Chain A
């Protein structure tokens, strides 16, 4: 395999792996696959904890499951994060970056950075999943945000009996862990098969989690149906794209496809004389990118986002909004920067258009929203556009700015949705914006915390949002995308309008009669919100250390 020329072209953001994966497959004798278990330890720990959770669900008595599941989740996620840190400290993020498991999983800077982010987000999300102080106790049992029994018809006798018996859906913890495991593999996937399988592994648990809300169960089930049907549709589109790319290159490994795209490896004889090969490459690449853009909720593939974010249980929404975006942007970066850099003159204009549409449409539609969760959903669409501006920079700075933005954004989102769970009335969470009027008068602390998050979303200086937006736009401008930056700044201004409007509503308008109360959370949700605020302020006031960290982690292995 002569990859020297290809590497010299794209050596800015890729580095050659120390061994050429797949070289062993040319020999005829069967060889046992070599799997570097130590390098895959974060992924294996999370999946191991998930399986342990399933066993606990099967064998433990009902009353001890909640504690056991929470302990398994928290310990598993913390151990996996420690493993990521150990790998990074060992140099796998820079000098020793490596392609593990016979070319299936990359262990490099972007992968480890994003895996660390996902694990921390999931750890905080597990706290919000486990919160049991917000709803009033039902029949003397503490209840969380999840249905007593997912299969019981809403409002039926069966459901009442389940609530009375004190059932809780502790399966959410294994589901969370399986989703996290898939998300860890997704940005590290180094062939299209791993990409597709990990996409499904993290999507399927999320579809189920969406359907399990305790309140507003019809809306919750509706959001699950929508998410599932559209998610399955988009993964089918991604799969056909994978098939076409395989048809073009004759291999599903990222490096192999990149070699064929870059012209350093020959097309197989079966297709060498055909004129249709470019069509295979272009259509296949476009379909795979569409599948990934669906997951990051970029316009025009964003239609599912507001409904799913509104209907899903709020802790799940927070987790989904934060972690899915991190994982999917990681996979998108790797695909565009490792597999298709030879095509960048083809995909850059398209991604320009998608980024502009996403920023502008996300910001403008958000102005008209009257529901807090929908508002945050459209704001997450607009943020996907800002991150895409960093993606089209096509430079190491672009990669590092996207990594930093994802880390900053995910904690803000998670914290904001955690605050939404606190504002409640008799029907559960009071998400209509009019109900939030005057919140700052009655609960100054909660309103102030939410205001911090909103200012971070808006990108006000001294918050993480400003540091992230600045890094992304700087990288995009240096990459020659100045018009994109100008449109980005304008849509940030539009977005700032509705964030400020919510702050004004909270602090400067009279509370309505019968206004919702603010539940006093347990230590779990309080610490989740506190972590969000701390990350927001630290990344805003002193971002340099983390920008350096992202900068050091911005080289892909291939």
Chain B
């Protein structure tokens, strides 16, 4: 199978994630969409690594996974404290500072 198809899939997943960040209102879902974008990047990295026949992309994918894990730790902590003080994880409720 032509590896370029995986690039199309990666672009599609990235777009779905990006659209989700814009459209969805629940902070957790928004965050999941960001993770989807990161995984789309991983797919693009390993596909390019296959196309170029070198390992840089695969190594990059590992680093992305570790960074994504660290981001989950920090992100969930922030979203959970936010939820506990407001009983809502909706990003529309975060409007204390509107001008």
Binding site for B on A (CB under 8 A): 150-151, 153-154, 193, 196-197, 200, 204, 207-208, 211, 217-219, 221-226, 228-229, 232-233, 236-237, 239-240, 242-244, 246-247, 250-252, 268, 270-271, 306-307, 310-311, 368-369, 374
Report the minimum CB–CB distance from A439 to chain B (whole Å). Answer: 23
From known contacts A223-B97, A225-B27, A250-B52, infer whether A240 and B74 are also in contact, taking CB-CB under 8 Å: no
Chain B residue contacts of A221, Cβ below 8 A: 78, 81-82, 85
Contact partners of B27 in chain A: CB under 8 A: 225, 229
B66 to chain A, nearest CB (A): 9
Shortest CB-to-CB span from B59 to chain A, Å, is 7
Q: Which residues of A contact B96 (CB under 8 A)?
A: 218-219, 222, 311
Q: Report, nearest first, the 7 A-B pairs whose CB atoms are least far apart.
A: A236-B37, A247-B48, A243-B44, A250-B52, A239-B41, A270-B51, A222-B94
Chain B interface, DSSP helix/strand/loop, else mixed: helix
Chain B residues near A240: list those with CB within 8 A.
14, 37, 40-41, 44
Compute how far the CA of A150 lies from the CA of B84 in the bound complex, rounded to whole angstroms: 12
For residue A223, which residues in chain B have a CB less than 8 angstroms away from its CB?
97
- B38 and A247: CB pair below 8 A? no
In angstroms, how far is the closest chain B Cβ from the Cβ of A44?
19
- Is the beta-carbon distance between A244 and B67 smaller than 8 angstroms? no
Q: Do the beta carbons of A233 and B54 come within 8 Å of each other?
A: no
List which B23-79 residues lie within 8 A (CB) of chain A. 27, 30-31, 34, 37-38, 40-41, 44-45, 47-48, 51-54, 56-57, 59-60, 63-64, 67, 70-71, 74-75, 77-79
Q: How far is the CA of A252 from the CA of B21 in the complex (A)?
A: 27
Interface size class of B (residues with CB under 8 A): 35 or more
Q: A193-B63, A211-B78 are in contact. Are A200 and B57 (CB under 8 A)?
A: no
A204 touches B41 (CB 8 A): no
Whether A252 and B82, one on each chain, are in contact in the complex, defined by CB atoms closer than 8 angstroms, is: no
Bound complex: CA of A225 vs CA of B37, how far in Å?
Answer: 18
A243-B21 in contact (CB<8A): no
Contacts of A233 in B (CB 8 A): 18, 21, 34, 37
- Pairs A–B under 8 Å by Cβ, sample size 21: A151-B81, A193-B56, A193-B63, A197-B63, A200-B67, A207-B75, A207-B78, A208-B77, A208-B78, A211-B78, A218-B86, A222-B82, A222-B96, A225-B82, A226-B91, A229-B27, A233-B21, A240-B41, A242-B41, A242-B60, A369-B99
Q: Nearest Cβ in chain B — how far from A358, in angstroms?
A: 19
Of B57, B84, B97, which is within 8 A of A246 by CB? B57
B7 at the interface (CB under 8 A from A): yes
Interface pair A224/B78, CB less than 8 Å apart: yes
Question: Which one, B7, B52, B75, contacts A232 given CB within 8 A?
Answer: B75
* Complex contact A251–B56 (CB within 8 A): yes
Give B85 Cβ to nearest chain A Cβ, in Å. 5
Contacts of B54 in A (CB 8 A): 250-251
The answer to whether B97 and A222 touch across the interface, beta carbons within 8 angstroms, is yes
B48 touches A226 (CB 8 A): no
The answer on a CB contact under 8 Å between B94 and A243 is no
> Is there an interface contact between A252 and B78, defined as CB atoms closer than 8 Å?
no
For B45, the closest partner residue in chain A by CB is A243
CB distance from B81 to the nearest CB of A (A): 6
Task: Pick the contact of B31: A229, A237, A306, A310 (CB < 8 A).
Answer: A229
Q: What is the distance, in angstroms, from A548's C-beta to the closest C-beta of chain B?
A: 39
B50 to chain A, nearest CB (A): 9
CA separation between A151 and B63, bound complex, in Å? Answer: 29
A228-B74, A240-B40, A252-B60 known; A196+B97 contact, CB < 8 A: no
Chain A residues near B97 (CB-CB < 8 A): 219, 222-223, 306-307, 310-311
Interface residue from A154, A193, A204, A246 paired with B74 (Cβ < 8 Å): A204
CA distance A381 to B7 in the complex (A): 36
* With known contacts A154-B85, A218-B86, A247-B44, A193–B14 Cβ distance under 8 A: no
Is there contact, CB below 8 Å, between B41 and A236?
Answer: yes
Does B85 lie within 8 Å of A246, measured CB to CB? no
State the Cβ distance, B10 to closest chain A Cβ, in Å.
Answer: 8
B34 near A153: Cβ-Cβ < 8 Å: no
In the bound complex, CA of A278 to CA of B84 (Å): 48
Residues of B within 8 A of A150 (CB): 81
User: How far, in whole Å, are A18 and B89 apart by their CA atoms in the complex?
Assistant: 53
Could you say which of B10, B45, B60, B74 contacts A207, with CB atoms under 8 Å apart?
B74
Residue of A nearest to B33 (CB): A233
Minimal beta-carbon separation of B33 from chain A (angstroms):
9
Bound-complex Cα distance A246 to B56 (A): 9
A225 to B96 Cα, complex, angstroms: 12
Q: How far is the CA of A311 from the CA of B48 in the complex (A)?
A: 41
- Within 8 Å by CB of B67, from A197, A229, A250, A251, lies A197
Q: Within 8 Å CB of A226, what residues of B? A: 91, 94
Q: Which of B60, B70, B75 contacts A193 (CB 8 A)?
A: B60
- Contact assessment for B51 and A268 in the assembled complex, using a CB-CB cutoff below 8 Å: yes
Complex Cα spacing A250 to B48, Å: 8
The smallest beta-carbon distance between B88 and chain A, in angstroms, is 11
Q: Of A200, A211, A311, which contacts B81 at CB under 8 A? A: A211
Q: Is the CB of A217 within 8 A of B85?
A: yes
Q: How far is the CB of A161 from chain B (nearest CB, A)?
A: 16
Per the bound structure, the CA–CA distance linking A427 and B82 in Å amounts to 21
